[in-house]
Amino acid sequence: MLADIIDRRQIKTDAESLAIWGKDWTNGFNVAPSAVVFPETNQQVVDIVHYAIKAGLRLVPSGGRTGLSGGAVAERGEVVVSFDRMNQILDFNAEDRLVTCQAGVITQVLQEFAAAQQLFYPVDFASAGSSQMGGNVATNAGGIKVIRYGLTRDWVAGLRAVTGTGALLDCNNGLVKNATGYDLRHLLIGSEGTLGLITEVDVRLAAQPEPQTVMVVGVPQVLDLLNVLNCFNSQVTLSAFEFFSDLALQKVRAHRDLPAPLADAVAYYALLEFDASAMDAASTAFEQCLNQGWVVDGVVSQSQAQADALWQLREGISESIAPYTPYKNDLSVCIHDVPDFLADVDRFVAESYPDFEVCWYGHIGDGNLHLNILRPEHLSVEEFMAKGHAMSPKIFELVRARGGSISAEHGVGLLKRDFLNYSRSEQEIALMQGLKQLFDPHQILNPGKLLAAGV
Ligand code: 2HG
Ligand code: ZN
């Protein structure tokens, strides 16, 4: 019946397509969409929503499907709305440094477009080659340069979105200043497709940075990661400050056949990136860290190829551990709390789940830790996921105790939905439910994500 409102060539219902577009990178959820539609214009998205209201369909927006919280999983006969065919860059204005993209523009395509204008789109992460701008906005994607450039939210100057009533909202129109009340743009950013289907984004671009240098240092004590951060921060403008444990390094090296960065293994590694012109200041900071015993060794890129190779050690981790179907956590606490929090979690897992391997890495410069618990071979995916769910409340209790977040950058989706109260108060959740009701009174937009369905 969808063919009444959209060309048949824009609809897929074969089993293979349903399996592909019915999920993102998240494992462990049922995948059962009834169809996938590929709109090409804002008006077609409006038509799909009106049709869904009439026919009682529910819609799951789908971008590059790189999400890790089940935000783009269609579990129960929903129609997936894929933005793959809304992949055009529509406009660019040099004075405003603004580029207007359809939601399906791939992150890397935008980055390359910006570079061709001698400008820079600074939000970056390992999945830039397949993630789409609409999904980035819907999850307020973070990534590896947040410490210097902020999150996706900071670069969205306007957007168009279709609400659950079929209204096409045009929010903020690229304005720098606009003091006319509630900024609905910011409500839609990070709303995970529950308030509206984002169709277009006006993205602000930055000046191109100078060439970057990458340094990887070995840090024996987790506590000292913060000392290293402080020491560099006081002398160098950092573009990235990432960390990974030796276990994470072993996995990514084995997976990609990469050489060790340092002569000897160290418990933790920090990866720092900064403007090449700050190399002298960075060397001074490194010497100070060495003298204090905070770092024991380090390596510095001498070329872009070496910088890229060092980045692989960090950016390749997630992919390298995927075969272990890890139980994923994406946590944040205030930066000063990171070492104590990490020690709390390590202690808890070692005492309660001694046969589980814990793989730590993440954006420690933002207080964002990726905690991946690897599935032991003797457990099936289902058994392991059940154990993960049973473990989550204990870990989230530790997060709550420090006022942290149970989802720093991946979003709540299906995976964290039932734990939202560990990071949000009853009053906040009630307001979110009220907003959901206003934007999506028929409960058709990404049901069951972020908030329980039907609330
Ligand atoms: C990263 O920082 C991504 O590499 C993925 O956010 C993290 O796989 C993960 O847990
Ligand atoms: Zn991350």
The CATH number for 221's domain is 3.30.70.2190
- What pLDDT shows up at residue 71? 98
How many domains, in total, are found in the chain?
A: 3
Judge whether 441 lies within some domain.
no
pLDDT tens string 96-129:
999 999 999 999 999 999 999 999 999 999 999 9
Which of these, 120, 289, 148, 278, lies nearest to 213 by C-alpha position? 278
Task: Say whether 324 sits in a helix, a strand or coil.
Answer: helix
Which atom of ligand 1 approaches the CA of 143 most closely? 2
For residue 153, give both structure tokens: 């939210």
pLDDT tens string 250-262:
999 999 999 999 9
- What pLDDT shows up at residue 454? 73
- Cβ atoms < 10 Å from Cβ of 206: 15
Report d(CA 407, CA 369) in Å as an integer.
10
203 and 93, same structural domain?
yes
370 lines ligand 1 (CB under 6 A): yes
Interval 85-93 mean pLDDT: 98
198 and 145, same structural domain?
yes
> What's the domain range around 161?
89-207
96 and 197, same structural domain?
yes
Which of these, 102, 105, 106, 81, lies nearest to 11 by C-alpha position? 81
Residue 455, pLDDT > 60, answer no
Report d(CA 277, CA 281) in Å as an integer.
9
181 and 112, same structural domain?
yes
Which atom of ligand 1 approaches the CA of 321 most closely? 8
366 and 296, same structural domain?
no
- Cβ atoms < 10 Å from Cβ of 15: 7
329 and 310, same structural domain?
no
> From ligand 1's centre to the CA of 107, what distance in Å?
16
Task: Say whether 28 sits in a helix, a strand or coil.
Answer: coil
The gap from C-alpha 105 to its chain's centroid, in whole angstroms, comes to 16
Judge whether 20 lies within some domain.
no
The last residue of a domain, from among 298, 318, 338: 318
328 lines ligand 1 (CB under 6 A): yes
The last residue of a domain, from among 207, 228, 254: 207
The last residue of a domain, from among 207, 222, 254: 207
Nearest bound ligand to the CA of residue 322? 1
Which atom of ligand 1 approaches the CA of 371 most closely? 10
Report d(CA 17, CA 35) in Å as an integer.
9
CA terminus-to-terminus distance, the chain: 28
Closest C-alpha to ligand 1, atom 2: 362
198 and 235, same structural domain?
no
Judge whether 443 lies within some domain.
no
Contact 86, 40 (CB under 8 A): yes
Contact 218, 302 (CB under 8 A): no
229 and 146, same structural domain?
no
Report d(CA 53, CA 348) in Å as an integer.
47
294 and 343, same structural domain?
no
Please give the DSSP secondary-structure letter assigned to residue 407. B
Judge whether 59 lies within some domain.
no
What own/partner pairs with CB < 8 Å and gap ≥ 24 does 340-346 have? Answer: 340/402, 341/369, 341/398, 341/399, 341/402, 341/404, 342/222, 342/369, 343/222, 344/398, 344/401, 345/371, 345/395, 345/398
For residue 265, give both structure tokens: 């293994």
Judge whether 16 lies within some domain.
no
Which atom of ligand 1 approaches the CA of 314 most closely? 4
Tell me the CATH number at 379.
3.30.70.2740
145 lines ligand 1 (CB under 6 A): no
Task: Say whether 311 sits in a helix, a strand or coil.
Answer: helix
Report d(CA 10, CA 15) in Å as an integer.
16
Residue 216, pLDDT > 70, answer yes
126 lines ligand 1 (CB under 6 A): yes
Task: Say whether 394 sits in a helix, a strand or coil.
Answer: helix
The gap from C-alpha 121 to its chain's centroid, in whole angstroms, comes to 16
Report d(CA 110, CA 91) in Å as an integer.
12
- What pLDDT shows up at residue 28? 86
292 and 351, same structural domain?
no
Tell me the CATH number at 170.
3.30.465.10
Judge whether 14 lies within some domain.
no
- Mean pLDDT, the chain, rounded, equals 97
- For the entire predicted model, the pTM comes to 0.97
Residue 210, pLDDT > 70, answer yes
290 and 261, same structural domain?
yes
226 — pLDDT class (breaks 50, 70, 90): very high
Judge whether 270 lies within some domain.
yes
- Amino acid letter at 407? S
Q: What is the per-residue DSSP string for 155-220?
A: GEEEEEEEETTS-EEEESTT-S---SS--HHHHHTTSTTSSEEEEEEEEE-EEPPPPEEEEEEEES
195 and 284, same structural domain?
no
Judge whether 24 lies within some domain.
no
- What pLDDT shows up at residue 303? 97
372 lines ligand 1 (CB under 6 A): yes
pLDDT above 90: percentage of residues in the chain: 96
